Amino acid sequence: MNLFPKWMLALAGVNLIPVLLSPFYMFGGLQPFGTSDSTFVRFLLYMLTNAVWFVPSILFFVSLDLFRRGYEKAGVAVALVGVALTATCVALLFQA
């Protein structure tokens, strides 16, 4: 972790908050996008609900990898997108 400045680790680390919230989405019965009578639509809503917490955790690793390879601006941009998705995840949790 000596390759990364502390501010980058802090910025990317925010993207790991949805991993801590994932049990609420997976096992808590939260349905922030509603439900449907159709089995296929219900499956798509389930996948979207899981993507809300899974995508920011993937963006954590992508942002640090880009930063390590020398693409600092792209790494910071990916980390900021992850922070926006993390804020969405937390907002959906409190609205449900």
pLDDT in tens, 1-25: 678 899 998 999 999 998 888 887 7
pLDDT of residue 1: 66
pLDDT of residue 88: 86
CA 27 to chain centre: 17
Separation CA 13–CA 31 (nearest Å) = 26
Contact 34, 92 (CB under 8 A): no
pLDDT of residue 95: 78
pLDDT of residue 79: 95
Domain ranges in the chain are: 6-95
pLDDT in tens, 42-87: 899 888 888 888 899 999 999 999 999 989 999 999 999 999 999 9
User: Residue 77 to residues 9, 42, 66: CA-CA distances in angstroms?
Assistant: 14, 32, 10
Separation CA 11–CA 77 (nearest Å) = 10
